[in-house]
Structure 1
Amino acid sequence: MKKWMKSLTAIMVAVSLVGGASSAAAAKSNLKGNIVINGSSALLPLTLQAASEFKKENPKVRISASAAGSITGPQSVRKGIADIGAVDWDASKDVPGFNKFDGLVANPVAVTVFAAVVNPNVGVNSLTTEQLQDIFSGKVTNWKEVGGSDAKIVVVNRKFGSGTRVNFQQKALGGKEFMNKGDNYKEVGSSGDMKTTIETTPNAIGYIDLPYVTSKMKALSINGVAPTEKNVLNGNYKVWGIGYYMTKGQPTGATKAFIEYIQSSKFQNGSLKKLKFIPLSAVK
């Protein structure tokens, strides 16, 4: 009798496991499609993390992402070579330096905080708006002029078309122009390039979004206010913007589902916050 009961129990456990596996398999979506994303390197960490999570739930969807700067996002969508253009501004509207992209729809995905960053050897922790304007315009060329050591400032800028550049110029520099040449001037093509250059170049200053800030660089306060989520939400830190996924018309199919996943409370209050972005619902 006991032997029979043990056999029955074993069969029931086996059936349960098979049934559980079937249920797990059934939970996987049958959604199919290919999604090509191009544009902002500032938004790339968010895009890659969301793609990894989304594909686990939707294994039949293929997602490829690249980042060559914000302006390439809407350009790629308009040309039909990308389904999503990741941009650090609303490209359906005119912004300083760029005309709007007619026919494209702006889907907000995250709030991005931008910071002035320096190599750790720079002996300053905070700069005023005027000091930043003077440094990035080339008017001030030595750190001792703004309270640092006697060393030549190396200015690192993003190439034209960068959304990080657009936001930093408008919100940290008050629209003032950048310098564009000189032996103390460098220009880089992506947030990743900016990160590496600031980390490895003594006396360098640049700007980047918080997901790329590491212990090998220093994020400066501006007018005494640190670039933190708290200071954005209390209105004291102004150098931030909303990142968008641009689509040709309203998104459909797998593209629509992917954007909705990023906009979901689960992702916004989970992985997005861990990556140092701010949920859309947190700002008004």
Structure 2
Amino acid sequence: MKMKWFKSLAFTTLALAVMATAVPVASAASKLSGKIVINGSSALLPLTLQAAKEFKKLNPKVKISASAAGSITGPQSVRKGIADIGAVDWDASTDVPGFKKFDGQVAHKVAVIPFAAVVNKGVGVDNLTTKQLQDIFSGKVKNWKEVGGNDASIVVVNRAFGSGTRVNFQMKALDGSDFMSKGDNYKEVKSSGDMKTAVETTPNAIGYMDLVYVTSKMKALKINDVAPTEANVINGKYKVWGYGYYMTKGQPTGATKAFIEYIQSKTFQNGSLKKLKFIPISAMK
């Protein structure tokens, strides 16, 4: 009899404890309101859209709109006051090659982004050296047979100036060497989605993108015999990666602050973020 009473009391105490912790959270979530406008990096767009979907379920009174026109448009939109968050593939509060810092903006790390050189599925090459990549993207090497592939003209697909993916790939995969900028076998695209379509549908094409956009209709190449995998990024073998940032005008407040904190939370970092082929910030030492 005493055992039954003890179990009943324990169950009641547990239920009350759960209710006590659950009610304030739900109440706080339901009170949060506002509108968040996000613009910038197309590499980060899948992460932003997934996080927005989850965050709005928890906070139905918060409206979030997200668009992607390239990394540079993120901090530019924040500076103009037309976006609350600027998504960018580099820390825009500091100078980087080609871009001056955006004064008064605060950078918030939200993800680790692995980038990869990618080719159309029909290209018979699986691995390229840094020198071969430099020669291909500069236009010096124009035929796949020069780097161990078939006798076919290489079609170079590049991102337009202002792309954070372009900044990272040029700095880390090409060691800062220049891109070609014109030619019969040269294409330039505005977003990661456009790059995906171009590489998938253009025979003999080579381009670059973050891993989340890689599909079965293309191949992500090894660089210097190292594959672009999460494990190789974390262990330091694969160098072509960067942090993704959310830029804000000063320190964020209200719904904007809560949204950034949600993306940085262990729940999102170790859940949806990893499923999308990004790497949690905490994984990098």
Q: What TM-score comes out, normalization by structure 2 length?
A: 0.91
Structure 2 alignment gaps of length 5 or more: 1-18
Identity over aligned pairs, percent? 82
Alpha-carbon displacement from aligned partner over 1:112-137 (angstroms, at most 9, x marks no partner): 00000000010000000000000000
**Partner AA of 1:257 in structure 2:** A
Structure 1 gaps of 5+ residues are: 1-18
How far does residue 30 in structure 1 lie from its aligned partner after superposition? 1.1
Q: Give the aligned partner of residue 176 of structure 2.
A: 175
Correspondence for 2:246: 245
Q: 1:116 matched to which residue of 2? A: 117
The CA RMSD measured in Å over matched residues stands at 1.4
* Distance in 2 of aligned mates of 1:273 and 1:30: 29
Amino acid at match of 1:29: S
Paired amino acid for 1:185: Y
Say which SS state the counterpart of residue 254 (structure 1) adopts: helix
Q: 1:51 maps to which residue? A: 52
Distance 1:139 1:120, change over 3 A: same
Q: What does residue range 5-44 of structure 1 map to in structure 2 within 5 Å?
A: 26=27, 28-44=29-45
Matches within 5 A, 1:187-266: 187-266=188-267
Post-superposition offset of 1:28: 4.5
- Structure 1 residue aligned with 2:99: 98
Which runs of 4 or more aligned residues in structure 1 lie more than 4 Å from their structure 2 counterparts after TM superposition?
Answer: 22-28
Say if 1:184 and 1:50 are closer, same or farther in 2 by CA, change over 3 A: same
Shift of 1:246: 0.1
Report the Cα distance in structure 1 between the residues aligned to 2:122 and 2:215, rounded to whole angstroms.
Answer: 14
AA of the residue aligned to 2:62: V
- Aligned AA (2:70): G
CA distance in 2, matches of 1:38, 1:26: 30
Shift of 1:29: 2.2
Question: What does 1:64-143 correspond to in 2, within 5 Å?
Answer: 64-143=65-144
1:165 and 1:28 mapped to 2: Cα distance? 38
CA distance in 1 between partners of 2:103 and 2:52 (Å): 27
Structure 2 CA distance, aligned partners of 1:87 and 1:65? 13
Aligned-pair distance for 1:138? 0.1
SS across alignment from 1:29: helix
